[in-house]
């Protein structure tokens, strides 16, 4: 009886694997650049805030990091806002940041990226991001983001930034900080490597033609540690990422490839799944999906990852049966996109010499 269940599970696994290898992935590779894209849907938005530099050298450095994000946002056809550039507003950049967030759509399928570049402080109670004029605290930023019901990617590249995780955590939010605690107060270099990696094909660990937020985090964390090692200095920053809303955060060295293999005690779910679904600069395949299809695909992929984590608590029969259902639903999303691509291709005007044949 048990042998029959194992054989059925093995057969189902082979069917699912075959579907993934020849159906699902094959369809993915065939999807065109813009097939089926909903051109009326609002795209992703990027808000970059460069804080008070203190010294000219820091100001030039922060501006260069922000410019990388501007270039990436342009490639992504994302709306781009840069706070901290040019003359300061009458009430300082703090008021401008609050007004900017207030004016953004609170509900959307598309993500809002908020990147904080500069210096941070922590006095044991309150974490702050240093701005021109009054600083902004983690608690204030959390209050301004309360009404958002859309994917949020918040990357705090400053020193002493870790306390922002617990304040900003939430459903469908990815929070990245340059440090693992508020006591890591020395200048953080994480932002240099993160802004360089967010659109760098070299950071694409799973080779799907795009660099995810998770992959940029992993690359930046690694490069920061290499910097300290080559200088023979003790590392004073250890970045964290939290995307399951529990507020603990995970370090880059807890990952093997793009999958976490370790989690803090008490956590019920590992980090990284949601962060790996967010891409500022999307691949041609990704552009072929409508926003609704992308959101549904993401939901199913999260369900698939959670299902895999529960495998040890299921029989093979149950595990593979449920796995097959999820994979088939994902495959059908790509099949619809491929059908649209073919239809669009057949409707495209043919070259004059070909039409004359």
Claim to verify: residue 217 and residue 326 sit in the same structural domain: no
Asked whether residue 168 is domain-assigned, the answer is yes
- pLDDT confidence of residue 353: 53
Residue 251 or residue 27, greater confidence = 251
- Per-residue confidence band for 42, with pLDDT thresholds at 50, 70 and 90: low
Residue range 309-327, pLDDT digits in tens? 889 999 999 999 999 999 9
Using left for φ > 0, alpha for ψ between -120 and 50, and beta otherwise, residue 245 falls in: left
- Residue 24 Cα distances to 15, 294, 330, angstroms: 12, 15, 8
- Count the Cβ atoms, other than its own, within 10 Å of residue 121: 17
**165: CATH:** 3.40.50
Give the tokens for residue 251: 């370090």
Residues 6 or more apart in contact with residue 260 via CB below 8 angstroms: 250, 254, 270, 271, 272
- In our burial notation (b when 16+ CB lie closer than 10 A, e otherwise), range 240-265 reads bbbbbbbebbbbbebbeebebeebee
Residues 6 or more apart in contact with residue 66 via CB below 8 angstroms: 48, 50, 82, 84, 85, 115, 117, 195
Is the pLDDT at 346 greater than 80? The verdict is no
What does the mean pLDDT of the chain come to? Answer: 87
- Per-residue confidence band for 179, with pLDDT thresholds at 50, 70 and 90: very high
Domain endpoint, select from 232, 252, 277: 277
Above pLDDT 90, what percent of the chain?
75
> Can you tell me the mean pLDDT for 203-208?
95
- pLDDT confidence of residue 86: 86
Domain endpoint, select from 221, 254, 277: 277
Q: Are the C-beta atoms of 221 and 251 separated by less than 8 Å? A: yes
Claim to verify: residue 51 and residue 78 sit in the same structural domain: yes
Lowest model confidence (mean pLDDT) among 49-58, 83-92, 168-177: 83-92
Claim to verify: residue 268 and residue 338 sit in the same structural domain: no
| Residue that has been written with the tokens 């599970």 in this structure | 9
Asked whether residue 83 is domain-assigned, the answer is yes
- pLDDT confidence of residue 31: 35
- pLDDT confidence of residue 220: 98
Quote the domain boundaries for residue 337. 289-343
- pLDDT confidence of residue 30: 35
Phi, psi (deg, nearest 5) at residue 278: -100, 125
Residue 43 or residue 260, greater confidence = 260
Claim to verify: residue 326 and residue 241 sit in the same structural domain: no
Strand partners, 241: 176, 250
Residue range 273-313, pLDDT digits in tens? 999 999 999 999 899 999 999 999 999 999 998 898 889 99
pTM score, whole prediction: 0.85
Above pLDDT 70, what percent of the chain?
85
Q: Indicate the number of domains in the chain.
A: 2
Residue range 109-157, pLDDT digits in tens? 999 999 999 999 999 999 999 999 999 999 999 999 999 999 999 999 9
Residue-by-residue DSSP string for 49-97: EE---SSHHHHHHHHHHHHHHHHHHHHTT-EEEEESSSSPPTTHHHHHH
- Count the Cβ atoms, other than its own, within 10 Å of residue 313: 8
Claim to verify: residue 334 and residue 295 sit in the same structural domain: yes
Strands (E), the chain: 45-50, 79-83, 112-117, 120-122, 127-129, 136-137, 152-156, 173-177, 240-242, 250-251, 255-256, 259-260
């Amino acid at each position: 009886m048990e042998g029959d269940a194992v054989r059925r599970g093995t057969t189902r696994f082979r069917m699912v694997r075959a579907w993934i290898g020849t159906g699902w992935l094959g369809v993915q590779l065939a999807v065109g650049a813009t097939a089926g894209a909903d051109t009326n849907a609002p795209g992703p938005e990027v808000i970059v805030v460069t804080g008070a530099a203190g010294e000219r050298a820091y100001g030039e450095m922060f501006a260069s990091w922000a410019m990388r994000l501007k270039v990436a946002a342009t490639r992504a056809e994302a709306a781009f806002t840069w706070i901290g550039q040019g003359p300061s507003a009458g009430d300082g950049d703090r008021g401008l940041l609050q007004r900017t967030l207030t004016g953004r759509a609170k509900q959307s399928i598309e993500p809002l990226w908020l990147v904080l570049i500069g210096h941070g402080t922590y006095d044991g109670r309150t974490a702050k991001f240093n701005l021109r004029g009054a600083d902004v605290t983690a608690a204030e930023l959390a209050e301004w983001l309360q009404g958002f019901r859309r994917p949020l990617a918040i990357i705090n590249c400053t020193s002493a930034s870790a306390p922002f995780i617990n304040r900003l955590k939430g459903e469908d939010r990815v929070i990245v900080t340059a440090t693992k605690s508020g006591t890591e107060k020395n200048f953080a270099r994480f932002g240099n490597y993160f802004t360089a990696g967010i659109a760098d094909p070299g950071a694409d660990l799973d080779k799907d033609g795009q660099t995810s937020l998770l992959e940029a985090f992993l690359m930046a964390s690694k490069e920061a540690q290499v910097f300290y090692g080559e200088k023979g200095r003790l590392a004073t920053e250890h970045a964290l990422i939290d995307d399951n809303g529990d507020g603990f955060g995970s370090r880059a060295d807890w990952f093997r490839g793009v999958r976490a293999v370790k989690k803090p005690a008490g956590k019920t779910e590992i980090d990284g799944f949601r962060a790996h679904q967010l891409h500022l600069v999307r691949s041609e395949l990704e552009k072929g999906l409508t926003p609704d299809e992308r959101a549904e695909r993401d939901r199913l992929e999260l369900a698939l990852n959670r299902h895999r984590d529960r495998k040890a608590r299921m029989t093979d029969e149950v595990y593979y049966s449920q796995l097959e259902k999820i994979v088939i639903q994902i495959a059908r999303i790509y099949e619809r996109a491929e059908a649209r691509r073919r239809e669009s291709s057949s409707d495209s005007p043919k070259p004059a010499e070909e039409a004359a044949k």
